[in-house]
Chain A
């Protein structure tokens, strides 16, 4: 068995003295693990930093084997974020969320492209909105997409301000007003090309976080990945 694909490094774990088990989010093969012989060496350790884009070749005798990767660095996104605490927290959070939520060896090309899109704007100013949009896309890819097109109660397509925490459907300002304290705020930038501020990003993260928790992390013993909790904490600190 042998294939070559582009992949984003989600994480790595030391295996023995010299080897590393690397988790990649690949374009055509989804989240895939493989052993990198000599991956703990000084010369190649930089390639396997979370968030880096690599061209990976996977080889194994049988398809169900762990197999081994040989990778070439395509772009170092980790280097972009090292100096900036918030960007670095977002990068590690995205990797941890993808690692915790994506099933192994199941292609999710749209989520991959969304992740790459987020990484591509990581050094630009609009990275926070790209992050929230990516989590929304990830939920949709995993079958838990939110319906933000029209109000669940009135069918109205305008003035959408809330999301029902139970159904994941949008609710308009008028219909949601009596239940506002029980509904999740819907930031405008998620439904149209609107400006955003840190409060809107925080609302967006709360929205995606609620559904990620409910549908994905609740079934995990570890719950929400600590990297996402830390990123959320950094965003909250920025808005308070």
Chain B
């Protein structure tokens, strides 16, 4: 039996994160029921995103322009660079509004099991940026996982010869976290990173 347009739509929607076959069917049905309000604007938005959104050649962020809005923002501190694994991490830091420097998106982490090596990430571009004399500090905002921290140590080694300070995010008790519910690893790193009050 040939695939209908609806089946094709459901199959494509089902490949999106958070959607399984059942929820994809519900989304498809809702889109088809509300063509004017949802389907047509969504088609337009997808087409716009596909045509206009591009990866920033400097930091790896996604934006309508290259270099992106963050890289060209004159109000940002050009001496601070925050290195993140993924664009989602950059967006998380931007949502928190706690960092006013610029970013560098690596595009992943080193992973022995998945065969991801330094050449698969934007590490060479980072070393180039660190060597341009504009930066005073590079903040490594990798996840507190074995792969994330292996990547952080590797980058720290690569930047050792430059004249920039290298720091990383603290590991420990999250805000609102209860000690009783924390795992041994988090408690251990929190104790190691204790500081005087």
Contacts and interface: CB of A to CB of B under 8 A. Distances in A.
* A and B: interacting chains: yes
Interface of A: 11-13, 17, 45-47, 49-52, 73, 75-76, 78-83, 85, 88-89, 91-92, 95-96, 99, 222, 225-227, 230
B189 A83 contact: yes
Interface of B: 17-18, 112-115, 117, 144-146, 149-150, 153-154, 156-157, 171, 183-189, 192
10 contacts: A11-B112, A17-B18, A45-B145, A49-B185, A76-B188, A79-B188, A82-B171, A82-B185, A89-B153, A92-B150
Contact of A78 (B115, B146, B157): B146
A102 to B, nearest CB: 14
A47 B183 CA distance: 8
Contacts of A95: 112
Contacts of A50: 146
Contacts of A227: 112, 150
Contacts of B114: 13
A79 B188 CA distance: 7
Nearest to A227: B112
Given A46-B185, A83-B192, A99-B113, 6 more contacts: A45-B145, A78-B146, A82-B189, A83-B149, A88-B149, A226-B112
A118 to B, nearest CB: 15
B146 A91 contact: yes
A12 B117 CA distance: 17
B151 to A, nearest CB: 10
Contacts of A76: 183-186, 188
B184 A79 contact: yes
Contact of A13 (B113, B156, B192): B113
Given A17-B18, A88-B150, A89-B153, A82 B184 contact: no
Contacts of B183: 46-47, 73, 76, 79
A91 B153 CA distance: 14
Contacts of B17: 17
A12 B145 CA distance: 12
A89 B185 contact: no
B150 A79 contact: no
Contact of A49 (B146, B154, B157): B146
Contacts of B18: 17
B32 to A, nearest CB: 25
A69 to B, nearest CB: 16
Contacts of A52: 185
Contacts of A99: 113
Contacts of A85: 153, 156-157
Contacts of B154: 230
Contacts of B186: 46, 76, 79
A199 B53 CA distance: 53
Nearest to A85: B153
Contacts of A225: 112
A101 B21 CA distance: 39
Given A49-B146, A88-B150, A89-B153, A78 B185 contact: yes
Nearest to A233: B157
A83 B144 CA distance: 10
Nearest to B182: A46
A73 B192 CA distance: 20
A49 B114 CA distance: 14
A99 B144 CA distance: 22
A85 B187 CA distance: 19
B116 to A, nearest CB: 9
Q: 7 nearest interchain CB pairs?
A: A79-B185, A76-B185, A85-B153, A227-B112, A11-B113, A76-B184, A96-B112
Contacts of A79: 183-189
A96 B117 CA distance: 14
